[in-house]
Amino acid sequence: MRAYVGLGGNLGDREATLRAAVQLLDAEPGITVVAVSSFVETEPWGYADQAWFLNGVCAIETELGPRDLLGRLLAVERRLGRIRGDGPRFGPRNVDLDLLVHGDLVVDEPGLQVPHPRLAERRFALAPLAEIAPELVVPGHGPVADLLAGVE
């Protein structure tokens, strides 16, 4: 199944960290990275008093369900030194991996929402997503191109 993962960070060598995250994801059993967007510098969202972010998206093929995939994303974050809950919400972080879309699934469970609940509001995720998957229809929201046009 095709899934899309948002990549971001604003501490340290941002590009090296995002590239390392992609390599670690690709090395995970049951995950194959099939495309990676350009990385774009973006203004902080939700907590403005911090450095700008570098953001991108990768497309993966996976046999994992959403909950197991999320567990792998969080494990990769930890391997790269991220400690979730350390600092303000939406605050500075060296790496952030978000499960944006997982096939045509819609999931709303404690600790897991797919598609990502704020995807339709975030140009920094929609633009790289549209770059690598311009025909993607986000379940429950519509075509990614329409969503991107709505935030521009």
Give the residue numbers annotated as catalytic, written as ranges: 82, 93, 96, 98
**111: number of Cβ within 10 Å:** 6
Strands 96-102, 112-114: pairing kind? unpaired
3-state secondary structure 79-148: HCCCCCCCCCCCCCCCCEEEEEEECCCCEEECCEEECCCCHHHCHHHHHHHHHHCCCCEECCCEEHHHHH
Closest CA to 100 of 113, 89, 112, 116: 116
Cis? peptide before 115, omega within 30° of 0: yes
Distance CA 97, CA 58 (A): 10
